[in-house]
Amino acid sequence: MKTAVKRILAVCMALILAGGISTVSSAKVQGYYFKNGGVSVTMDSAAKKFISKAGAPEKTKVKKSCAYKGKDRTYQYKNFILYTYTNSEKGAEYVQGISFRNKSVSTSEGVKIGSAESLVTKKYGKATPNFGIYTYIKGNTKLQIEVTDGKVTNIRYTANKVK
């Protein structure tokens, strides 16, 4: 009996160490995040708390998703645009993307529209821009920073892979 328990424990430990079972500390989503109104949000995370803290949007669009049986929503705020999705007709909303609209908001690393290109590479590392767009992937988040004439002109977070 003791040998069987030891074998089970050994298999469980091997799975945990190999990433086959999430531990409490690794269960958290790792990736770039956007913070607004004291609430941080990552891609594919629940959008409800973030939306309630962001306040009333200037404009909201809702459309049936072409990818799954839910709805896609766009919330346009003064400083950013939030894109959400649901997996079912009445399901919870999840964050699919965020686009910056002006220099009033910044990434958690301090980059904003108008920042110097050198700050982007200092904060996120060297990357080869594709048509002026630096792309960084961390966890389930793709962060794209567009640079024109040495200055940041656009920033967007997107889900690397939609659930």
pLDDT in tens, 24-80: 223 354 689 999 989 999 999 999 999 999 999 999 999 998 877 899 999 999 999
CATH of the domain at 78: 2.60.460
Q: How many domains does the chain have?
A: 2
Same domain? 17 vs 36:
no
Calpha distance 93→81 (Å, rounded): 15
Same domain? 19 vs 77:
no
Calpha distance 113→17 (Å, rounded): 41
Same domain? 75 vs 147:
yes
How do residues 124-160 score in pLDDT, each as one tens digit?
999 889 999 999 999 989 999 999 999 999 999 999 8
Residue that has been written with the tokens 């049936």 in this structure: 64
Which DSSP letter does residue 14 get? H
Same domain? 19 vs 35:
no
Q: Which residues have a Cβ under 8 Å from the Cβ of 81 and sit 6 or more positions away? A: 74, 75, 98, 99, 101
pTM value is 0.79
Same domain? 83 vs 8:
no
Residue range(s) defining the domain that contains residue 12? 1-27
Same domain? 38 vs 16:
no
Is it the case that residue 114 has pLDDT exceeding 60? yes
